[in-house]
Structure 1
Amino acid sequence: MKVLIGVDPHKASVAVAVVDEATGELLERGGFPQNRAGLRSLERWARRFPERRWAVENAGGLGRYLAGRLSAAGESVVDVPPKLSARVRVLSSFAGNARKNDGLDALATALAASRNERLAAVDPEAASEVLRLLSERREDLVAERTRALNRLHGLLRDLVPGGVAGTLSAHRAARILRGIRSRGGASARLRRRLASEVLRDIRTLDRKIAGLNERIEAEVEASGTTLTEIFGVGPILAAKIIGTVGNVARFRTKAHFASYSGTAPVEASSGEVVWA
């Protein structure tokens, strides 16, 4: 019997529900602690179902560790978006008037996966996963650099008459700091010293971002994607798209992909006026 094991992960626990893939019948439910011992128990428990697949809700969030662990062990795992499992739970008759609970969520996750063949398979070693990690790291560094520049703007506002207008870069900030003479009391000297420290932080971040840009460009080129042939799409944006979408072959048509990405035109009409 082929079964599908739906998983509703939480910080401290995971709820599971096993359904018959052919009929959708609920076979068994369970719950396990979200720790190493608990996950080992879950894996032993699942061996009773030799022909099994896993459906993990939000495998990119709280379910990432478990999904990656199962995939690395050779298990077949798909990622079920929370909105999809929630829709199944609300519209399915099994929920009845019952309140939302982990057991129902796990069952909804399994049923959602059984009815959808285009869910993303979890593969922690896929090229798209590498690009996702690199893109997220770059976004973190860029956000940190922006915060540092804002702090530097604030310090220079009190050191330079009228502050600094326009875009501030490490090179420009260094030139401005060199032109500031040591006047004023202890607070002015401290501001200048703090500005120099923040400037060093920005230069460090600039080097890290430049290094990531080179690595992302190399990974995108190695992936063989044709996204960069589209006008306006460079390696950074291409890495973001690949890392988010994963294997685009899971979408049968461009219409399916448009629906997934939220770019499908939606009609909004009133009387004889129609927008799309």
Structure 2
Amino acid sequence: MILIGIDPHKSSHTAVAVDASGHQLAKRRFVVNAGTFRQLMAWCEQWPERRFAVEGAGGLGRSLAQQLAAAGEHVVDVPSTLSARARMLATGGNRKTDEADARHVAHVALFRPDLRQVTPEDQTTILRLLTERREDLVHERTRVLNRLHGVLRDLLPGGVATGLSADKAAAAMKSIRPVTATDNCRRDIARDLLADLRRLDRLVKDNEVQMREALAATRTTLTHLPGLGTVLAAKVLGHVGDVSRFPTEHHFASYTGSAPLDASSGNNVRHRLNTGGNRALNSVLHTIAICQIRDGGRGQDYYLRKIAEGKTPSEARRALKRRLSNVVYRIMKRDHRNQLTHAA
């Protein structure tokens, strides 16, 4: 079996082929253009038994990795942190070239069977794109709203109350009677900002409609979990992708950052807060926990039981997040099995 490591860049891709023992067999640099994939596959035809390892298959290497996966090739994603460590451990680790990077990518794939296999993009990719788009729109809406608050504060005595919306801003602006040319300018800017706010409101609503349709296509049952609505479910599916890549709920909890880290030393057994993992998923679990603690039910009962055991509110909330991570994992695994059964 030949393993081909690829170091991708915007303008070029460097590929290095190694055998099962890690010895380099061949190398080639491909200029990125419309014929790059065809040239790469023509070069690889000399090794019928082959696998590919692409550094950053979720970033710069996404396009090439997806083309390989769509062609039926076996492709794994090598995180840049692992290839960097391999380079530092190798002889002459300070030397960094595209050829050396591609070789180290292949070496990592040789000795790490747990690397994520790249699969063709599906509905989960659409959900991630839609959730990222929503975040951009919400951030932009917040910026426009804050700016509108500032302008209205200078036009109206005492400004306007918090919780401003487009309709409330429009109602408040009806009473504005500019006296000076400066106030006229402020009013015009406020009108422009109000128009921007209405436009962003429409885009956010359209985005939610698209998200709801994409979520329905996945046949997920995540939204049955209290505190987990359409937007949060879309974020979970978009970031997790194929849940089968996590062998156990403990691996999933580590990925979400909800599992505490072992910091034991000698006879001193202790754990510390995990500040790593996927922070977007950790934020989702936090939101679900807050909603369940507020609204009652099994989540609130578990939280209060931890408080009664002597845990602080923060510790009890983290314990609930860890439990919710297991619940989300089990729901996604069940949905995955049902989809396989339905497809068969």
Q: TM-score range by the shorter chain?
A: 0.7 to 0.9
Pair 40,273 (structure 1): closer, same or farther in 2 beyond 3 Å? closer
Pair 240,8 (structure 1): closer, same or farther in 2 beyond 3 Å? same
Contact 2:153 2:160 in 1 (8 A): yes
**Deviation (angstroms), 1:145:** 1.3
Aligned-pair identity in percent equals 51
CA distance in structure 2 between the aligned counterparts of 1:237 and 1:83, rounded to whole angstroms: 29
CA distance in structure 2 between the aligned counterparts of 1:26 and 1:256, rounded to whole angstroms: 33
**Match runs of 1:102-121 below 5 Å:** 102-121=98-117
The correspondence for 2:62, drawn from 61, 64, 67, is: 64
The correspondence for 2:27, drawn from 20, 26, 29, is: 29
**Deviation (angstroms), 1:124:** 4.2
CA distance in structure 1 between the aligned counterparts of 2:257 and 2:25, rounded to whole angstroms: 35
Contact 2:88 2:94 in 1 (8 A): no
Instruction: State yes or no: 1:265 paired with 2:276.
Output: no
Counterpart residue number, 1:177: 173
**Deviation (angstroms), 1:153:** 1.9
Pair 238,200 (structure 1): closer, same or farther in 2 beyond 3 Å? same
CA distance in structure 2 between the aligned counterparts of 1:130 and 1:240, rounded to whole angstroms: 10
Root mean square deviation of aligned Cα: 2.4
Contact 1:123 1:129 in 2 (8 A): no
The C-alpha deviation readout for 1:72-96, integer Å capped at 9, x for no partner, is 33333332222232233334x4x44
**Deviation (angstroms), 1:202:** 1.3
**Deviation (angstroms), 1:35:** 2.5
**Match runs of 1:209-224 below 5 Å:** 209-224=204-219
TM-score normalised per structure 1: 0.86
Counterpart residue number, 2:48: 50
- For these two proteins, the number of residue pairs brought into alignment is 271
Contact 2:3 2:17 in 1 (8 A): yes
CA distance in structure 2 between the aligned counterparts of 1:61 and 1:218, rounded to whole angstroms: 26
Pair 109,263 (structure 1): closer, same or farther in 2 beyond 3 Å? farther
The correspondence for 1:133, drawn from 125, 129, 148, is: 129
Aligned residue identity for 1:247: D
Contact 2:37 2:67 in 1 (8 A): no
CA distance in structure 1 between the aligned counterparts of 2:251 and 2:84, rounded to whole angstroms: 20
**Deviation (angstroms), 1:187:** 2.3
CA distance in structure 1 between the aligned counterparts of 2:192 and 2:13, rounded to whole angstroms: 45
Aligned residue identity for 2:72: G
Instruction: State yes or no: 1:229 paired with 2:228.
Output: no
The correspondence for 1:145, drawn from 115, 133, 141, is: 141
Residue ranges of structure 2 left out of the alignment (5+ in a row): 273-344
Q: Which moves more between the two structures, 100-109 or 31-40? A: 31-40
**Deviation (angstroms), 1:205:** 1.3
Query: Which structure dedicates a bigger proportion of its chain to helix?
Result: 2
Residue ranges of structure 1 left out of the alignment (5+ in a row): none
The correspondence for 1:249, drawn from 244, 249, 254, is: 244
**Deviation (angstroms), 1:39:** 4.3
Corresponding residue SS for 1:55: strand
Q: Which moves more between the two structures, 253-262 or 114-123? A: 114-123
**Deviation (angstroms), 1:249:** 0.4
**Deviation (angstroms), 1:269:** 5.2
**Deviation (angstroms), 1:3:** 2.0
Corresponding residue SS for 2:233: helix
Corresponding residue SS for 2:259: coil
Contact 1:33 1:39 in 2 (8 A): no
TM-score normalised per structure 2: 0.71
